[in-house]
Every structure is written in structure tokens, then in C-alpha cells.
Amino acid sequence: MKATTAHPSRSSGFRALADNINEKRAQCSKLTRIFAESAESTDLASRYGYDRWLVGRFLEYVPNVKDFMDEMERPPTKYIRVNTLKTTSEDLESRLCSKGFDLKRTVIPEVLAVKKAPMTTGATNEYLLGHYYIQDLSSCMAVDALDVSEAQAVLDVAAAPGGKTTFMAQRMKNTGSIIALEPSEKRARSMSFNLARCGVYNTCILKIDGLHAERLQRKFDRVLLDAPCSCEGVIAKDLTRKTSHTPQDVDYCSNRQDKLIDAAARMVKPGGILVYSTCSFAPEENEMVVDTLLKKFDNIEVEPLQYGSTGLTQFGDAVFDGQLKNTCRLYPHLHDTTGFFIARLRVS
């Protein structure tokens, strides 16, 4: 077994595996870290049905891994976001409660947790009329972090299916403008239905890949990049994800996210905000992406957020800029949300 160097790491015996693939991983700081198997990782992987490489990584950074994996076996809490373009929280609560729903307020004023539902949450008349959107609390926190307001110019770099876009539109009271980028015809179509159902008219969908955002030839007050990712954070919603992705998938996503965040950062006006988010736990898709950006741009600061756990400042052999502690990690067992990562970046 070959030892890698020595940055202090959480596991006292971090070692890269000795075969060729992992030697290459150690040489390239951006490749997905694989950790030596332990009795604990093997046991947990076997018990909960995960690939062992994934559990080995969880043991490096997830607090209370056993509680975490127990929680991932349970159906996640459902949340709905009141569409204030069409109704109020009070009115919607009253209507749904009269139908037998039990709803609870959350830290985001527009978001309600569905504690009891007598029917499928998307089967109500109120849903069809666009009075609410089914959206996880973590996703809404990303929009809350962006702090949009009326009359602003906003860019949503990877917009479909439109949950965050419609939330931004309602926070903007349908004023200003949102440019939503979505290169896939199918996803853009699905998004158009969501925008129409929610009564959003300040948004324009362009079928452009976020990597080519510079074609817009303008800058924005706010830019949101909810990046395509390996979706580890939604394992509780789709248990096949325990074994359906590989370290190579994380590599691919991370590489693409580097490019996307670079493109997104260039679209922000001085003084504006970029929010980067994923529904992955992988540091290579989260802190490392932001860290790489900070190394490229000296006019970007990571601003602190008011929710979740702090971001990692190191992972395996990688040590990140100290500002990464201002990012936010959301875990199902600690925050009752899907897994999520949010970074709020101020461009000066």
C-alpha cells in the first residue's frame, strides 16, 4: 500500500490504494478520492446496500454516518412552496388543512412541510391551479441565499424543471427579468409548463448550454448555478442511486461543474451574487469546485449562510481555502432535507 502525503486527515490511516488507477487519482488533485476499505465501511455498505467506495467516503466527512444511513432509508419529508404570485400561505394552509393535510411552517416563510397528506400532494386542485410547487426545503434555501429582489436581472444557468426559477420569480413579484438557460428541448418544454402553471411572466427560456452563457453579452445582478451533479443527495428518494454511480461519474460531473461555475462567475455584475448549489455530498462536486474558482478569481468572496452545517475545509489530501467554511452542507439526518450544498459568492 502506498501512502500519500501528509495533510492531516480525519482518518488516521489515509492511504491511496496501490493499483494504477488510484495512483493516477492521487496525482490529479481533482479526481474522486477513494479510501481504503475498513471493517466499518464494509459492514455499513453490506447492511444498507451501498457500493463500498461510497461508504468509505461518507465515513470521512459525514457526521454520525450510521444515523445518516438510517435516515436515508426513510421516505424524506415532503415540502411544498406556496406560490405567492397566486395565493398566500394563510389561504393555502386553510384550504389544504380543510382537505385533511397537516402542514408545518419552516425556516423559509413560503415553504411548508407536509406532515400528513390524505392524497398525493400533486393531486389537489390547488396544485393544478399553481398555488404551490412541490419542492424540497434545501432547494428553496439556495434561492433564499441568492437574495433576489424586484426589478433585478437574474440568470439561471441550469434552470429546468423550473422550481428555483419560479421561486425567484415570485420573490421578484414577477418584475425585473430572469433568463433561464436549458439546452434540452424536453426539459425546456417541461419547464415551460411549470412557468405557465405558476403564472410567471418575467422569465425567458433560452436553449443554450450554460457553458456558452457569454453569448448573452450582458451581466446580471444575480446568477444561480444549480449544477447538474451525481445526485447523491437524493438517494433517499431513489434508492437505486446507492449503486448506480461510479467514481468516474463524480469525476465527470466535477469537471463539468468547474467549467460551468467559471462561465457563471463571468456573468455577474460587480457587487452581484452567484449562488452555486448541488444535490450531491461529494466534496469534489462542492467545496473543490468553489475552491478552484477562488484560485482563479481574486475578486470573489464566499459569504456565510445562516443554515445547515459548515462546508468542509479539507478532504483527504486536499486542503481548501478557509472561506469554504462559509458554505453550507445539508444532511437528511441533521436538517430533514435532501442532501444539498450551497455556496454564496459575492463578486466585487
Work out which of 136, 156, 182, 291 binds another protein, going by CB under 8 A. Answer: 182
Q: What is the DSSP letter of 233?
A: G
Q: Is 231 in the site for another protein (CB under 8 A)?
A: no
Partners of residue 112 on adjacent β-strands:
80, 105
CB of residue 32 vs another protein: minimum separation in angstroms? 34
What are φ and ψ of residue 193, in 5° steps? -65, -40
- Side chain identity at residue 4, one-letter code: T
What are φ and ψ of residue 326, in 5° steps? -80, -10
Work out which of 54, 58, 106, 130 binds another protein, going by CB under 8 A. Answer: 130
- CB atoms inside a 10 Å sphere around CB 119: 10
Q: Is 125 in the site for another protein (CB under 8 A)?
A: yes
Part in contact with another protein (CB under 8 A); list of ranges 46-54, 122-130, 234-242, 280-288: 122-130
Q: Is 228 in the site for another protein (CB under 8 A)?
A: no
CB of residue 266 vs another protein: minimum separation in angstroms? 18
Q: Is 93 helix (H, G, I), strand (E, B) or coil?
A: helix
Distance CA 68, CA 334 (A): 8
What are φ and ψ of residue 132, in 5° steps? -150, 165
Residue 279 appears among annotated catalytic residues: yes
Q: Is 202 in the site for another protein (CB under 8 A)?
A: yes
- Side chain identity at residue 340, one-letter code: F
Work out which of 49, 63, 122, 304 binds another protein, going by CB under 8 A. Answer: 122
Q: Is 190 in the site for another protein (CB under 8 A)?
A: yes
Q: Is the dihedral of CA 280, 281, 284, 290 positive or negative?
A: positive
Part in contact with another protein (CB under 8 A); list of ranges 35-43, 57-65, 206-214, 327-335: 206-214
Q: Is 196 in the site for another protein (CB under 8 A)?
A: yes
Q: Is 88 in the site for another protein (CB under 8 A)?
A: no
Distance CA 198, CA 309 (A): 32
Nearest to 305 by CA among 83, 150, 138, 82: 138
- Side chain identity at residue 278, one-letter code: T
CB of residue 226 vs another protein: minimum separation in angstroms? 19
Q: Is 164 helix (H, G, I), strand (E, B) or coil?
A: helix
How many residues bind another protein, per CB under 8 A? 33
Q: Is 204 in the site for another protein (CB under 8 A)?
A: yes
Work out which of 2, 7, 97, 193 binds another protein, going by CB under 8 A. Answer: 193
Positions marked active-site: 279
**Which residues sit at the interface with another protein, rule CB under 8 A?**
86, 122, 125, 128-130, 175-177, 179, 182, 185, 188-193, 195-197, 199-208, 215-216
